[in-house]
Chain A
Amino acid sequence: MTSLLAELRGLSVSYPTAGRTAFALREVHLDIAMGERLAIIGESGSGKTTLALALASILPPQARLAGRIDWPGLARAPVAGRDVGFVFQDPGSSLNPVMRIGEQVAEGARRHLGLGRSAGLERALSLLQRVRIPDPEAALRGYPHQFSGGQRQRIAIACAIAARPRLLIADEPTSALDMVVQAEIVRLLDGLVREEGMTLVFITHDIGLASGFADRIAVFRDGALVEAGATREILAKPAQAYTRSLIAAHIDFASPRLIEPA
C-alpha cells in the first residue's frame, strides 16, 4: 500500500440551526493515498462539498467539526492554498470580476512562495501556459468576463495550483460546462496531477465521468460514506444497493468514455 496523504477518522460536520443541529457529514472514515486520484460521488446534499471544504479548511465559521483529519503525508497542518488547492464548480463566479487575471493567478504564489510582484506575474504566465490559455501574455492583463467558461475554469485551475499544493480538490469542476469542454477540463486535471505528482480529489455527481480516470471511488449519501474502493471493484461488484442504483442510472453501453484509461 502506498503512503497516506490524509486520514479522516470519524469526521462529522454540523451546522447549528434553530433548535437542533443539522449534520452535513456523519462519522466519515476515509483514507486518501499519496498521488491517487480519488473520486467522491454523491447527489446534492450528500455532503460531498462539505467534505471538500473541510479538507481545504475553508468551512464557514459557524460549522462545527468533530472527529479528526490527520495528515501523515504533510509535515505540518495543511495551509489553504499552500498545501491544498481548490477548484470551484462555477468559474463564472469563482473569479473576482474586477481583478486582472495575472494578479488573481499570482496572488496565491506570491503569498505562499514569497515571490515579488514581477516574479509572481512570471509564475502566473507559466501557469497560464501550463493550462493552455491562448495568448497568455495578453491574458495576464485581461479580466474574467473576456474569457469563455472553459477558459475561466482553466484560469481557476491555474489559481489553485499556483503555490504547488500537494492536494488538489476539484468540486464539480465541470458541472457548469458543456460536454466537450468537460472532457478537456478532466483531461487537463488528469495530466496536471500526473505530471506534478499531486493528489486529486475529484467531486462529482457523475459516476460515469469519475470512472473514466479515478483510481478509487468513494460514494456518499446523506452525509455518510456508503462505500469506498478501487474504481474497477466498485464498478464490477458494488457492495451497496445505492451504488448499484447509481451505476445503473449513469452507465450504459451508449455513454462514451471521456478519458481512455492510461
Chain B
Amino acid sequence: MNRALKLVGRRAVSSIPVLLIVVVGTFFLLELASGDAVDAYLVSLGGGDAELARSLRESYGLDRSPLHRLWLYTSSLARLDLGWSVAFNRPILDLILERLPNTLWLMGSATAMAFALGTLLGILAGARPGSAADRVLSIGSLALYAVPSFWLGLVLSLIFAVQLRWFPTAGIETIASGKTGLDRALDISRHLVLPVCALGFIYLALFLRMMRAGMAEVWRQDFVLAARAKGLARSRIVLSHVARNALLPLVTMLGLQAATMLGGSVVIESVFAIPGFGRLAHEAVAARDAPLLMGIIVSSAVLVVLVNLLVDLAYAALDPRVGAGEPAS
C-alpha cells in the first residue's frame, strides 16, 4: 500500500500546475470572446443606455484590468470561493453542487456499463481471434462506433420513449412526484436508461475493440504458449493469462475517456433535458456568465484529475510492476 500512497502524493503535487494552467488559460480565452454578462443582461432587458452599462460593469468589477481580475479570481479560488453567478443570481458553488450529481450519475453509469459490457464482449471476441463470434462482434462494434451519440439518443428516445413508451422521454426524475428512498432511486434509474445507453454505447464499442485487439496481441506472447505447454484449460488461459494482461491498457483508456465523456454528456443532457453539468455550461455560455463558465471548467478539471488518480490507483493494483523499485536480487 506504500506504493499507492506514493502515487497519490506524486499525483496531487503534479495536479496543482495542471489546474493553474486550466484557470489561466480559460480566463484569457474567455477574455478574448467579445461581449460580457452586462451585454447579455441589457439584451434581455431590451436595451439600456451607456450610463447603466457603465455602472453595472463597475458594480461587477468588469471595468478593472484583466490581470487584476485574474488575480482576484485565482485568490478567491484558493479560498474555494467560486464567485457569484450573474445569470442565476446565486453562488456558483451551490449551482455546481446541485447539478453535478446528475451528471455524475449519468457519466458513472455510462462508464460502468461501457467498461463492463465492452470488456466482457471483448473477451468473447478475443478468446478466439478470427472466429465467427469475433467477426460478428467486431463488425457490430464498428457500426456502433460510427454512430454519433446525439443521433443515437434521438433514435432511442423515438423508439423506446415515444413509440413503445417503455421509458420517460426526458428529465432526471418525475417532477413533484414526492417519491422517496427506493422508489425515487428506481424512478431516477428509469429516467437514466436511455441517456446512459446513448452516451455509453460508443464507449462500449471502443472498449470492446481495445480489449479484442489487446487480447490478439497477448495471444502471441511467450507466457501464453507457456500456459498452453502447462496443459491448462482453455478458459483459464483466456481469462487468467490473456484477458488479465489485455485489461491493463483498457484501464489507462478509462482515465482518458473520462474527459471525453464529460464533453459527450453535454450533448446527451441537451437531448434528454437532464439538468446536469453540461446543460449548466450551455446556459452559462448563452448568458455570457464568465465566472459560472470558469467555475464549471475548473470543477470539470478537478473531476478529471480525480478520476485519473482513481484510474492510476486501479492500474497500480492490477499491475504489480507499477511503482516498483529495482528487482530484488
Where the two chains meet, the residues of A that have a C-beta atom closer than 8 Å to any C-beta of B are: 56, 58, 79-82, 84-86, 88, 90, 93-99, 107-108, 111-112, 142-143, 145-148, 156, 159-160, 162-163
Contact = CB atoms under 8 A, between A and B. Distances in A.
Interface string B233-263: 1001000110011001000000000000000
Given A88-B222, A99-B241, A107-B236, A146 B229 contact: no
B174 interface: no
B329 A58 contact: no
A148 B230 contact: no
Contacts of B328: 142, 146-147
Contacts of B226: 86, 88, 94-96, 156, 159
Contact of B232 (A90, A93, A95, A111): A111
A88 B321 contact: no
A36 to B, nearest CB: 21
A148 B324 CA distance: 14
Contacts of A90: 222
Contacts of B327: 145-148
5 contacts: A86-B226, A86-B229, A97-B319, A98-B248, A163-B231
B28 interface: no
B237 to A, nearest CB: 10
A94 B230 CA distance: 12
B223 A94 contact: yes
Contact of A80 (B221, B230, B319, B329): B230
Interface in B203-228: 221-223, 225-228
Contact of A112 (B231, B236, B240, B324): B231
A86 B224 CA distance: 13
Contact of B230 (A98, A142, A162): A162
Closest 10 CB pairs of A and B: A81-B231, A86-B229, A80-B231, A93-B222, A108-B230, A81-B230, A143-B320, A94-B222, A94-B226, A96-B223
Contacts of A58: 225, 228-229
A225 B40 CA distance: 88
Nearest to B240: A99
A95 B233 CA distance: 17
B219 to A, nearest CB: 10
A153 B241 CA distance: 19
Contacts of B245: 96-98
Contact of A98 (B227, B229, B233, B318): B318
Nearest to A81: B231
Given A99-B240, A108-B230, A145 B324 contact: yes
Nearest to A169: B229
Nearest to A112: B231
B108 to A, nearest CB: 26
Nearest to B248: A98
Given A96-B240, A108-B232, 13 more contacts: A80-B231, A81-B230, A85-B229, A95-B223, A96-B226, A97-B223, A97-B245, A98-B321, A99-B240, A108-B231, A111-B231, A147-B327, A160-B229
A107 B318 contact: no
Given A98-B245, A146-B328, A93 B221 contact: yes
Which of A56, A81, A112 has the most CB atoms of chain B within a 10 A radius of its CB?
Answer: A81
B234 to A, nearest CB: 12
Given A107-B230, A146-B327, A97 B236 contact: no
A88 B225 contact: yes
A29 to B, nearest CB: 25
A108 B241 CA distance: 13
Interface in B283-329: 318-321, 324, 327-329
Nearest to B325: A146
B230 A159 contact: yes
A50 to B, nearest CB: 13
Contacts of A143: 320-321
Contacts of B233: 111
B221 to A, nearest CB: 6
A163 B329 CA distance: 28
Contacts of A56: 229
A237 B257 CA distance: 68
Contacts of A147: 327-328
Nearest to A148: B329
Contacts of A96: 223, 226-227, 240-241, 244-245
